[in-house]
Amino acid sequence: MRTELERLVRVWHVVSLLSSLILTYRVAAASLLSRHHIYMYVSRTPPAFIQKHLNLVPTYATPPVVQGNNTRNISYRVHAQKGI
């Protein structure tokens, strides 16, 4: 009887842990891929190319470090249109 109870408790702990991990993953994915803010972190890609082909507007957390034609550590944000 005791071993059966311990086994059920272990199974309950595993199931609750897996469900909490799945819920955390889904919440994180929903916040990262929300329809209003899509964040793409692009490195070593010319900003002009990104703006031209992807219609993204750069948002600078820190001043960009320009080396030649490349600008590093820029986060790009596009505001998705509602209803898409």
Q: What is the pLDDT of residues 12-33, one digit of tens each?
A: 999 998 888 888 877 777 766 6
Q: What is the mean pLDDT of residues 36-47?
A: 50
Do residues 74 and 47 lie in contact, with contact meaning Cβ atoms separated by under 8 Å? Answer: yes
Q: How many domains, the chain?
A: 2
Q: Where are the strands (E) in 23-73, listed by range?
A: 37-42, 57-59, 65-67, 70-72
More confident residue, 36 or 30: 30
Bridge-based pairing of strands 57-59 and 70-72 is unpaired
What pLDDT, on the 0 to 100 scale, is given for residue 29?
72
Instruction: Give the residue with greater pLDDT, 35 vs 26.
Output: 26
* 25 in the same domain as 49: no
Give the confidence band of 2 by pLDDT, cuts at 50, 70, 90: confident
Within this chain, do residues 42 and 73 fall inside the same structural domain, yes or no? yes
The answer on 18 and 53 residing in a single domain is no
List the domain range (segments joined by +) for residue 49: 36-84
Q: Are residues 11 and 45 in the same domain?
A: no
